[in-house]
């Protein structure tokens, strides 16, 4: 049976804005985050402590963390020791580490092979866990890679198994370039739920081929009750050519509510959050619910 309640992890301020051509002012980001909180979002990726040379849009990470009211669970992405150190100094409590199943992607994204990344992350993750920080492991290119093509699901599971053995709280398993189909979504998430029953399992879909909602419906049937999504459908990874935004929070929330699945998110207030950032991003907001509300 389908979950009765779903947790949305809003990734708009991070995944949504990291690839944005325009420089979005810090105050606009803070207003966007505040309005998302007001709409009922309880878990959010706020920003990333990454190299400003690699991802200039996240260079205000410290100000974002400092100035955001501490409501619910707020993640920051951290690729390495330096990122974790800076994030701790800013007062972050929940950390997202990220690695690609595909070596080629991982090299382009964090300048290390997957194995090098895992060797580097192990002591860092174990320390965070021992300090009682919440750790989320983001698994990129879990289905397909823009460089290597189809990914062997056994490799994805193996990477997840390592993170689980280090004690992470959550696995966020990602279709980085929006290429997975609902059959693949069901098969992988059914297996993840079965193999890691003690770990929170989250699905992260990009909507490049407009299969995001269908992939969520498939994952719901596998029992997944946590989804990453981005208000306004913003997003994309600068090192994953061909990928577009995340599946849109307003479309996911609407679908779930129509199915009598609770999210605790208010759709009208969510649209107001999208409105607050829309004038500052370089592309039009073209999600189903946003266009529908605006055409009224």
110 binds ligand HMG (CB under 6 A): yes
Nearer to ligand HMG, 6 or 55 (CB): 55
Give me the residue label for tokens 């959050």: 273
* Secondary structure of the chain as H, E, C letters: CCCCECEEEECHHHHHHHCCCCCCCHHHHHHHHHHHHHCCCCEEEEEECCCCCCCHHHCCHHHHHHHCCCCCEEEEECCCHHHHHHHHHCCCCEEEEEEECCHHHHHHHHCCCHHHHHHHHHHHHHHHHHCCCEEEEEEECCCEECCCEECCHHHHHHHHHHHHHHCCCEEEEEECCCCCCHHHHHHHHHHHHHHCCCCEEEEEEECCCCCHHHHHHHHHHCCCCEEEEEHHHCCCCCCCCCCCCECEHHHHHHHHHHCCCECCCCHHHHHHHHHHHHHHCCCCCCCHHHHHHHHC
- Binding to ligand HMG in span 161-180, by CB under 6 A: 174, 176
Residue 55 contacts which entry, Mg ion, ligand HMG, none (Cβ below 5-8 A, type-dependent) = ligand HMG
Work out how close the CB of 127 gets to Mg ion at its nearest, in angstroms, rounded to a whole number.
Answer: 25
15 binds ligand HMG (CB under 6 A): yes
Phi, psi of 163 (to 5 degrees): -60, -40
With beta carbons less than 8 A apart as the criterion, state whether 202 and 172 touch.
Answer: yes
- Stretch of 42-50, 66-74, 158-166, 263-271 contacting ligand HMG, by CB under 6 A: 42-50
Q: How far apart are CA 23 and CA 242, in angstroms?
A: 21
Among 36, 41, 121, 138, binds ligand HMG (CB under 6 A): 138
- Stretch of 31-39, 74-82, 216-224, 249-257 contacting ligand HMG, by CB under 6 A: 74-82
Work out how close the CB of 272 gets to ligand HMG at its nearest, in angstroms, rounded to a whole number.
Answer: 25
**Residues forming the site for Mg ion (CB under 5 A):** 15
Work out how close the CB of 50 gets to ligand HMG at its nearest, in angstroms, rounded to a whole number.
Answer: 3
- Binding to ligand HMG in span 224-283, by CB under 6 A: 237, 239
Q: Is 145 a catalytic residue?
A: no
Nearer to ligand HMG, 240 or 271 (CB): 240
With beta carbons less than 8 A apart as the criterion, state whether 5 and 38 touch.
Answer: no
Nearer to Mg ion, 88 or 283 (CB): 283
9 binds ligand HMG (CB under 6 A): no
- Stretch of 73-81, 145-153, 186-194, 286-294 contacting ligand HMG, by CB under 6 A: 73-81
- Stretch of 48-56, 123-131, 153-161, 255-263 contacting ligand HMG, by CB under 6 A: 48-56
104 binds ligand HMG (CB under 6 A): no
List interacting residues with ligand HMG (CB under 6 A): 15, 18, 48-51, 54-55, 77, 79-80, 82-83, 86, 98, 109-111, 138, 140, 174, 176, 204, 206, 237, 239
Residues annotated as part of the active site: 237
């Amino acid at each position: 049976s389908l979950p009765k309640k779903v947790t949305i992890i809003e990734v708009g301020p991070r995944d949504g804005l990291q690839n944005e051509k325009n420089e979005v002012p810090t105050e606009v980001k803070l207003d966007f985050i505040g309005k998302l909180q007001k709409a009922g979002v309880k878990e959010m990726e706020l920003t990333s402590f990454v190299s400003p040379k690699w991802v200039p849009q996240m260079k205000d990470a410290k100000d974002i963390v400092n100035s955001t009211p501490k409501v619910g669970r707020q993640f920051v992405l951290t690729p390495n020791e330096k990122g974790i150190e800076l994030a701790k100094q800013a007062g972050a409590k929940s950390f997202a580490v990220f690695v690609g199943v595909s070596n080629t992607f991982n090299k382009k994204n964090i300048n290390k092979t997957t194995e090098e990344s895992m060797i580097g992350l192990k002591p860092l993750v174990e320390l965070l866990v021992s300090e009682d920080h919440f750790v989320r492991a983001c698994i990129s290119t879990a289905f397909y890679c823009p460089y290597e093509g189809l990914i062997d699901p056994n490799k994805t599971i193996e990477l997840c198994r390592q993170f689980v053995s280090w004690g992470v709280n959550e696995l966020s398993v990602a279709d980085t370039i929006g290429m997975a189909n609902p059959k693949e979504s069901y098969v992988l998430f059914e297996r993840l739920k079965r193999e890691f029953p003690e770990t929170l399992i989250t699905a992260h879909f990009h909507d490049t081929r407009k299969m995001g909602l269908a992939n969520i419906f498939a994952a719901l049937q596998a029992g997944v009750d946590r989804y990453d999504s981005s208000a306004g459908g913003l997003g994309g990874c600068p090192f994953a050519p061909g990928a577009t935004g995340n599946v849109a929070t307003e479309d996911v929330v609407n679908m779930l509510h129509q199915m009598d699945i609770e999210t605790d998110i208010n759709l009208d207030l969510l649209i107001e959050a999208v409105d607050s950032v829309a004038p500052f991003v370089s592309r039009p907001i073209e999600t189903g619910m946003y266009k529908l509300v605006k055409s009224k």
